[in-house]
A and B are shown apart, each in its own frame.
Chain A
Amino acid sequence: MKIALFVPCIVDQFYPHVAVSAVRILRRLGHEVVFPVEQTCCGQPAFNSGYHAEARRVAKRLVKVFSGADSIVSVSGSCTTMVTCFYPKWLMDPALAGDVRHIASHMYEFSDFLVNQLQTVDVGARFPHKVTYHDACHGLRELRIKSEPRQLLAAVRELELVEMDNAEECCGFGGTFAVKFTEISTAMGNDKITGVCATGADYLTAGDSSCLMHLNGLLKRQNIPIQTIHYAEILANQ
Chain B
Amino acid sequence: MHDFKQAAHDNLTNTHLRQTLRKSTRTSLLKRSQVVQELGEDTWQQLRRRAHQIKKETIAHLDEYLEQLEAHLTEQGVQVFWAETAAEANDYIIQLAKREGASFVVKSKSMTTEEIDLNPALQAAGINPIETDLGEYIVQLAGERPSHITAPALHKSREDIARLFQEKLGIDYTDNPQELTKIARQKLRQKFLTAKIGVSGVNFAIAENGTLVVIENEANARLCMTLPDVHVAVMGIEKVIPKLEHLPTFLRLLPRSATGQKFTSYVSLIRGAQSSGKAVHLVLLDNGRSEMLADPRFHQALYCIRCGACLNTCPVYQRVGGHTYGWVYPGPIGAILTPKYQGLTQGKDLPFASSLCGSCTDICPVQIDLHHLLLWLRQAVVSSGSDRHLIEAVAMKFWTITMISPLLYRLASRLVRWLPQRAFHYIPGWTETRDFPSPAPKTFREIWNESLK
Of the residues B352, B427, B435, B439, contact of A221 by C-beta under 8 Å: B435
Please tell me if the beta carbons of B378 and A37 are within 8 angstroms of each other in the complex.
no
Please tell me if the beta carbons of B428 and A179 are within 8 angstroms of each other in the complex.
yes
Of the residues B316, B358, B429, B453, contact of A137 by C-beta under 8 Å: B358
Q: A13 to B453, alpha carbons, bound, how many Å? A: 18
Q: Indicate whether A50 sits within 8 Å of B429 (C-beta atoms), given known contacts A13-B413, A35-B448, A177-B356.
A: no
A23 at the interface (CB under 8 A from B): yes
A93 at the interface (CB under 8 A from B): no
Of the residues B375, B432, B444, B448, contact of A182 by C-beta under 8 Å: B432
Of the residues A40, A181, A218, contact of B403 by C-beta under 8 Å: A40
**Which A residue sits closest to B434, measured CB to CB?**
A217
Please tell me if the beta carbons of A41 and B316 are within 8 angstroms of each other in the complex.
no
Nearest CB on A from B292, distance (A)? 19
Of the residues A11, A170, A182, contact of B429 by C-beta under 8 Å: A182
The residues of B that contact A137 with a CB separation of less than 8 Å are 355-359
Q: Indicate whether A35 sits within 8 Å of B435 (C-beta atoms), given known contacts A141-B357, A181-B8, A187-B12.
A: no
Nearest CB on B from A149, distance (A)? 18
Please tell me if the beta carbons of A14 and B400 are within 8 angstroms of each other in the complex.
no
The residues of B that contact A47 with a CB separation of less than 8 Å are 375
Please tell me if the beta carbons of A172 and B434 are within 8 angstroms of each other in the complex.
no
A200 at the interface (CB under 8 A from B): no
Q: A198 to B413, alpha carbons, bound, how many Å? A: 38
B354 at the interface (CB under 8 A from A): yes
Q: Which of A15, A40, A43, A47 has the most CB of B within 10 A?
A: A40
Say which one of B99-107, B176-184, B270-278, B391-399 lies at the interface with A: B391-399
**Which B residue sits closest to A211, measured CB to CB?**
B355
Say which one of A52-60, A104-112, A116-124, A154-162 lies at the interface with B: A52-60
B411 at the interface (CB under 8 A from A): no
Q: A90 to B347, alpha carbons, bound, how many Å? A: 24
Q: A5 to B170, alpha carbons, bound, how many Å? A: 71
A48 at the interface (CB under 8 A from B): yes
User: What does the 1/0 interface line of A7-32 toward B look like (CB < 8 Å)?
Assistant: 10101111111011001000000000
Of the residues B396, B429, B442, B452, contact of A46 by C-beta under 8 Å: B396
Please tell me if the beta carbons of B315 and A218 are within 8 angstroms of each other in the complex.
no
Please tell me if the beta carbons of A54 and B436 are within 8 angstroms of each other in the complex.
no
The residues of A that contact B378 with a CB separation of less than 8 Å are 48-50
Of the residues B352, B357, B416, B434, contact of A170 by C-beta under 8 Å: B357
User: Using a Cβ–Cβ cut-off of 8 Å, how many residues does chain B contribute to the interface with A?
Assistant: 61
Please tell me if the beta carbons of B429 and A180 are within 8 angstroms of each other in the complex.
yes
Chain B at the A interface: SS class: helix
**Which A residue sits closest to B449, measured CB to CB?**
A37
Q: A40 to B361, alpha carbons, bound, how many Å? A: 31
User: Using a Cβ–Cβ cut-off of 8 Å, how many residues does chain A contribute to the interface with B?
Assistant: 63
Q: A116 to B278, alpha carbons, bound, how many Å? A: 65
User: What does the 1/0 interface line of B283-309 toward A look like (CB < 8 Å)?
Assistant: 000000000000000000000000000
Find residues 400-415 in chain B having any chain A CB closer than 8 Å to their own CB. 400, 402-404, 406, 409, 413
The residues of A that contact B315 with a CB separation of less than 8 Å are 169-170, 172, 188
Please tell me if the beta carbons of A49 and B382 are within 8 angstroms of each other in the complex.
yes
Please tell me if the beta carbons of A37 and B445 are within 8 angstroms of each other in the complex.
yes
Nearest CB on A from B375, distance (A)? 7
Of the residues B359, B416, B435, B439, contact of A141 by C-beta under 8 Å: B359
User: What does the 1/0 interface line of B98-140 toward A look like (CB < 8 Å)?
Assistant: 0000000000000000000000000000000000000000000
Nearest CB on B from A41, distance (A)? 5
**Which B residue sits closest to A140, measured CB to CB?**
B358
Q: A183 to B432, alpha carbons, bound, how many Å? A: 9
Of the residues A35, A37, A177, contact of B355 by C-beta under 8 Å: A177
Find residues 327-353 in chain B having any chain A CB closer than 8 Å to their own CB. 351-353
Q: Which of A13, A47, A216 has the most CB of B within 10 A?
A: A13
**Which A residue sits closest to B380, measured CB to CB?**
A50
**Which B residue sits closest to A214, measured CB to CB?**
B434
Q: A12 to B316, alpha carbons, bound, how many Å? A: 30
Nearest CB on B from A15, distance (A)? 7
The residues of B that contact A216 with a CB separation of less than 8 Å are 435, 437
Of the residues A20, A168, A175, A214, contact of B452 by C-beta under 8 Å: A20
Please tell me if the beta carbons of A16 and B429 are within 8 angstroms of each other in the complex.
no
Of the residues A50, A179, A184, contact of B319 by C-beta under 8 Å: A184
Of the residues A13, A142, A218, contact of B416 by C-beta under 8 Å: A13
Q: A17 to B437, alpha carbons, bound, how many Å? A: 14
Q: A221 to B430, alpha carbons, bound, how many Å? A: 12
B440 at the interface (CB under 8 A from A): yes
Please tell me if the beta carbons of B355 and A217 are within 8 angstroms of each other in the complex.
no
Please tell me if the beta carbons of B447 and A177 are within 8 angstroms of each other in the complex.
no
B433 at the interface (CB under 8 A from A): yes
Q: Indicate whether A7 sits within 8 Å of B433 (C-beta atoms), given known contacts A49-B382, A137-B358.
A: no
The residues of A that contact B404 with a CB separation of less than 8 Å are 40, 57-58, 61
Please tell me if the beta carbons of B433 and A40 are within 8 angstroms of each other in the complex.
no
Please tell me if the beta carbons of A217 and B437 are within 8 angstroms of each other in the complex.
yes
Can you pick out 29 interface pairs between chain A and chain B where the beta carbons lie within 8 Å of each other?
A7-B444, A9-B403, A12-B413, A12-B444, A12-B445, A13-B413, A13-B443, A14-B440, A20-B452, A35-B452, A40-B409, A43-B403, A46-B396, A46-B400, A47-B375, A48-B375, A49-B392, A50-B379, A52-B382, A54-B400, A57-B400, A57-B404, A137-B355, A172-B315, A174-B357, A178-B430, A180-B353, A188-B315, A217-B433
Task: Given contacts A35-B444, A181-B353, list 8 more A-B pairs with CB under 8 A.
Answer: A14-B437, A37-B406, A50-B382, A177-B355, A181-B352, A185-B355, A217-B434, A221-B433
4 closest pairs, A vs B, by CB?
Answer: A174-B355, A217-B434, A179-B429, A50-B382
- Which residues does B use to contact A, with CB under 8 Å? 5, 8-9, 12, 315-316, 319-320, 351-359, 361-362, 375, 378-383, 392-393, 396-397, 399-400, 402-404, 406, 409, 413, 416, 427-430, 432-437, 439-440, 442-449, 452-453
- Which residues does A use to contact B, with CB under 8 Å? 7, 9, 11-17, 19-20, 23, 35, 37-41, 43, 45-52, 54, 57-58, 61, 137-138, 141-142, 168-170, 172-189, 213-214, 216-218, 220-221
